[in-house]
Structure 1
Amino acid sequence: METNGTDRAATESVWEYPRPPRIEPDPRHVVVRHAGVALADSRRCLRVLETSHPPVFYIPRADVRIELLRVSEHRSVCEWKGTATYWRPGPELGAPPAPDIAWSYEAPRPGYAPITGHLAFHADRVEACTVDGERVRAQPGGFYGGWITDELTGPFKGVPGSLGW
């Protein structure tokens, strides 16, 4: 693989990611904006890498404006990480009511404790998510929350025909 001078591969194939998923630290500058407000700003994210999926960035709660979010009634279960709690924008943002924009694992299964309480955001449900200034693209399909950046190659889980991958 080529490197870009920061020890990060210039090209990462999501098909080289493991299953079960792996967690790794990512020191790049991550910002999530919604309704004109920086909801999250961090250089201490964790990426979860899983075969065929773009990485999911989990942002430490201390780097999220949690007072601007509300816990949703929605829950889901990941076979690896456990039960996810969902978050929606609070009325303080002054935006119209919106669907869940983020999720967290408050008590993840063994092996995923490092992401406890961190929040991950759906890139297609907020104004913008950036990694080192690059605007990310949402993982296709609407369900998954991976962030696609220029260094990634696919194909990505979520595209039509990928249900059985």
Structure 2
Amino acid sequence: MRPTQSDLERARRAWTYRGQVRPAFAVSPGPGQESVWDYPRPPAFVPDGRTVEVYAGDILVAHTERAIRALETGSPPAFYLPPEALDRDRLVASERRTFCEWKGEAEYFHVLGDQRRIDDALWRYRDATGAAAVIAGWFSGYPVLLRCLVDGERVRAQAGGYYGGWITDEIVGPFKGEPGTGHW
């Protein structure tokens, strides 16, 4: 069931931090780094021309030099890849759906790897709303389930299991997803 407009407004108001002021507990970025506490809420969507690769085991599932990073307060960026960057023969639609108050309804996909099926490893917002319309139909994936690389650097997974942020050396936190960080 889709949330009502008042549900969306309530969810949007619940966030404590919105990127206007970096909280005292945030790590200060060094040269060439970004603090997730400087990212806005609602999120910004920024083109990224670095090489992005996604593997299921040893199988290359996606490759692009035309990603979009979703930058949202307190969370490592999620990299969204254009549909043509994926090996669509390796995707199986899932029944799982979630809803983001900023992006809309997400649909999930299992990925057929070299050894097994990886459940709910990718997602997309087919009909993304608002500023997120630039990622409508584009895919992102969970680095905890897939091997994701940005310019050859292995991405580390965001904690918590729900969020799909991609942690690279240029990003400093702390990051939402750890216990006690709900609605940071």
State the TM-score, normalized to the length of structure 2: 0.81
Counterpart position of 1:121: 141
Alpha-carbon deviation of 1:146? 0.3
Q: Secondary structure at the match of 1:15?
A: helix
Give distance in 2, aligned partners of 1:162 and 1:107: 28
Task: Count residues with an aligned counterpart.
Answer: 156
Cα deviation digits, residues 57-115 of structure 1 (max 9, x gap)? 0000101111110110000000000000100024xx44323321000011111221110
Alpha-carbon deviation of 1:129? 0.5
Amino acid at match of 1:143: Y
Which one of 17, 25, 43 corresponds to residue 47 of structure 2?
25
Say whether residues 1:72 and 2:91 are aligned partners: no
State the TM-score, normalized to the length of structure 1: 0.90
Structure 1 regions of 5+ residues with no counterpart? 4-9
Which contiguous aligned blocks of 4+ residues in structure 1 show a shift greater than 3 angstroms? none
Say whether residues 1:82 and 2:77 are aligned partners: no
Report if aligned partners of 2:56, 2:114 keep a CA contact under 8 Å in 1: no
Say whether residues 1:138 and 2:157 are aligned partners: yes
Which one of 96, 99, 114 corresponds to residue 119 of structure 2?
99
Give identity over the alignment, percent: 45
Counterpart position of 2:182: 163
Q: Secondary structure at the match of 2:120?
A: coil
Q: Which structure has the larger Rg?
A: 2
Report if aligned partners of 2:44, 2:131 keep a CA contact under 8 Å in 1: no
Structure 2 regions of 5+ residues with no counterpart? 1-28
